[in-house]
């Protein structure tokens, strides 16, 4: 059994949240860490978690690559954090823009504004003692790592991580975690990442409802895919799958400080 460490349960695909969780349980996923992306999805995430508090743990976030999210949304998310920090298990997802910078006329300015927003949110994570779920792919990872250190953040996970090996090494060295998606089943880049990162520094996630390729093509995406990712981690690490699932579970429980069932 594993926990999905990053799922967008606010998505309309998961409107029947009870059925979603039941399907996940049937596939060896007994809990879901549900991230938010903006004020509205944060509210939906809280509502879905309140419906099934033993299986869903909510986070509040502001997605750095979502267009049209500006300072007004940042202020609303800050207000949500002030109000709900005791009900959530992490700040997330937050981070730095990367995909939205491609072809943008003002990429440097967007990155600078993104970093300023991230720093404000990290300050709140420290204040409320919340771990941080980061979206900081590729060239954004190093900058995010510096921001974590500058702000004195102790617990952070780089979700769906991809970055040069040296940056990944520095992240692990600093005691932060790396999370992998079902892409690990079919993508060499992710498989090499799992080879390189110690099991104690890994989490698995679905990032559902993201549609995956390979064997997942045409099949519904949901938190249940986290178990398949865990199975593949076991194969890559050449360890018994039950042991790997237990360790990944323990990593997730300790990182988010979840009630152990
Ligand atoms: Zn996500």
Q: Give the domain range for residue 233.
A: 2-256
Q: Residue 7 Cα, ligand 1 centroid: separation in angstroms?
A: 6
User: Cis omega before residue 209 (within 30°)?
Assistant: yes
Contacts from 139-142 at CB under 8 Å and sequence distance 24+? 139/98, 139/163, 140/95, 140/96, 140/97, 140/98, 140/111, 141/167, 141/168, 141/171, 142/167, 142/170
Answer whether residue 155 is part of any domain: yes
Q: Residue 181 Cα, ligand 1 centroid: separation in angstroms?
A: 10
Domain count for the chain, please give it: 1
| pLDDT score of 261 | 55
Q: Residue 207 Cα, ligand 1 centroid: separation in angstroms?
A: 5
Answer whether residue 119 is part of any domain: yes
Average pLDDT over residues 126-130: 98
Q: Which residue, 159, 152, 142, is CA-closest to 61?
A: 159
User: Cis omega before residue 93 (within 30°)?
Assistant: yes
Q: Residue 244 Cα, ligand 1 centroid: separation in angstroms?
A: 23
Residue 225: is its pLDDT beyond 70?
A: yes
Q: Residue 180 Cα, ligand 1 centroid: separation in angstroms?
A: 11
Strands 29-34 and 56-60: parallel
Residue with tokens 């992710």: 190
Hey, how many other C-beta atoms are within 10 angstroms of the C-beta on 161?
Answer: 26
Give buried/exposed letters for 170-202 (b at 16+ CB in 10 A, else e). Answer: bbbeeebbbbbbbbbbebeebbebbeebeeebb
Q: Residue 251 Cα, ligand 1 centroid: separation in angstroms?
A: 19
pLDDT, the chain, mean: 97
Residues 174-187: tens digit of each pLDDT: 999 999 999 999 99
Residue 79: is its pLDDT beyond 80?
A: yes
| Confidence band, pLDDT 50/70/90 cuts, at residue 68 | confident
Q: Residue 74 Cα, ligand 1 centroid: separation in angstroms?
A: 18
Which CATH number fits the domain that encloses residue 170? 3.20.20.140
Q: Residue 94 Cα, ligand 1 centroid: separation in angstroms?
A: 9
Q: Residue 196 Cα, ligand 1 centroid: separation in angstroms?
A: 23
Answer whether residue 24 is part of any domain: yes
Residue 67: is its pLDDT beyond 80?
A: no
Answer whether residue 261 is part of any domain: no
Answer whether residue 173 is part of any domain: yes
Q: Residue 242 Cα, ligand 1 centroid: separation in angstroms?
A: 26
- Biggest distance spanned by C-alpha atoms of the chain: 50
SS3 content of the chain, % helix, strand, coil (to 5): 50, 15, 35
Residue 56: is its pLDDT beyond 60?
A: yes
Answer whether residue 22 is part of any domain: yes
Q: Which residue, 59, 53, 7, 1, is CA-closest to 30?
A: 1
Residues 130-161: tens digit of each pLDDT: 999 999 999 999 999 999 999 999 999 999 99
Q: Residue 35 Cα, ligand 1 centroid: separation in angstroms?
A: 7
Answer whether residue 232 is part of any domain: yes
- Beta partners for residue 140, in sequence order: none
Q: Residue 82 Cα, ligand 1 centroid: separation in angstroms?
A: 22
């Amino acid at each position: 059994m594993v926990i999905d460490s990053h799922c967008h349960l606010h998505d309309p695909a998961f409107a029947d949240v009870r059925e979603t969780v039941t399907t996940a349980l049937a596939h060896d996923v007994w809990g879901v860490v549900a991230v938010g992306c903006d004020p509205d999805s944060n509210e939906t995430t809280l509502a879905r978690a309140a419906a099934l508090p033993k299986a869903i743990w909510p986070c509040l976030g502001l997605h750095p690559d979502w267009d049209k999210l500006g300072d007004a949304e940042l202020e609303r998310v800050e207000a949500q954090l002030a109000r709900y920090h005791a009900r959530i298990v992490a700040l997330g997802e937050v981070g730095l823009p990367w995909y939205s910078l491609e072809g943008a006329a003002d990429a440097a300015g967007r990155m600078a504004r993104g970093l300023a927003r991230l720093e404000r949110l990290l300050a709140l994570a420290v204040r409320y003692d919340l771990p941080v779920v980061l979206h900081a792919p590729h060239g954004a990872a190093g900058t995010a790592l510096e921001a974590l250190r500058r702000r004195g953040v102790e617990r952070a996970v780089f979700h769906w991580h991809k970055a040069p090996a040296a940056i990944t090494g520095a992240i692990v060295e600093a005691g932060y975690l790396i999370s992998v998606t079902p892409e690990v089943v079919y993508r060499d880049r992710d498989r090499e990442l799992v080879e390189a990162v110690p099991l104690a520094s890994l989490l698995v996630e679905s990032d559902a409802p993201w549609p995956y390729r390979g064997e997942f093509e045409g099949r519904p995406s949901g938190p249940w895919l986290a178990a398949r990712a865990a199975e593949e981690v076991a194969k890559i690490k050449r360890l018994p799958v039950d042991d790997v699932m237990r360790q990944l579970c323990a990593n997730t429980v300790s990182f988010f400080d979840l009630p152990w069932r």
